[in-house]
Amino acid sequence: MDMEKIARLTRELLIEIGENPDREGLLKTPERVAESWSFLTSGYRSDMKTVINGAVFESEANNMILCRDIEMYSLCEHHMLPFFGSCTIGYIAKKKVIGVSKLARIVDHYSRRLQIQERLTAQIARAVMDSVDAEGVGVIIDARHMCMTMRGVGKQHSSMTTSSVLGSFHSNSATRTEFLNLAAK
């Protein structure tokens, strides 16, 4: 990322919207915005191998593993406004499990990009499935979208829930029901 270019473009944007980028409160804003964008879009510059960092372990576990309420923040690709909420990931291991913190890192990896929630949910599910060769995976994201609350229709209390189910979570209704029941607690 060219941080100087982003700062320069931010300065131009401030001028275009009628602000004075030379006033005291805005003097360092272009640089701060560039740093913010670097962080908020870091998912474009990371790779899954580094994210997981070898934290996949042999295990005899063949039960459902669930991590609930993983905080998630992203940017809507249509308006570049935030959406945020929580992510629940469940999977059934065959022979391998993943370190629990890596589930949160997978969420961050895909959410730190311009996104739509539907795709984000599917990407997380696929990454978990591929990482541990799981029997099945389920992912649920519940999020509030600032493009719905700050602008447009202005629906302050709206949220959107998406789910992605793969493998046995998709093909076996009892497995899917177990996941949904555990996720709801």
Instruction: Read off the pLDDT of residues 81-112 as tens digits, 9 standing for 90 and up.
Output: 999 999 999 999 999 999 999 999 999 999 99
Domains and CATH numbers, the chain: 3-40 (1.10.286.10), 54-184 (3.30.1130.10)
Whether the pLDDT of residue 120 is over 90: the answer is: yes
Cβ atoms of 83 and 76 closer than 8 Å: yes
- Provide the 10 A C-beta neighbour count for residue 81: 15
pLDDT digits (tens, 9 = 90+) for 138-179: 999 999 999 988 887 888 889 999 999 999 999 999 999 999
Report how far residue 15's alpha carbon sits from residue 2's, in angstroms, rounded to the nearest whole number: 20
Catalytic residues: 76-79, 117, 145, 147
Report how far residue 175's alpha carbon sits from residue 47's, in angstroms, rounded to the nearest whole number: 30
What does pTM read for this prediction? 0.94
Report how far residue 25's alpha carbon sits from residue 58's, in angstroms, rounded to the nearest whole number: 54
Cβ atoms of 134 and 126 closer than 8 Å: no
Whether the pLDDT of residue 5 is over 90: the answer is: yes
On average, the pLDDT of the chain sits at: 96
Report how far residue 128's alpha carbon sits from residue 73's, in angstroms, rounded to the nearest whole number: 19
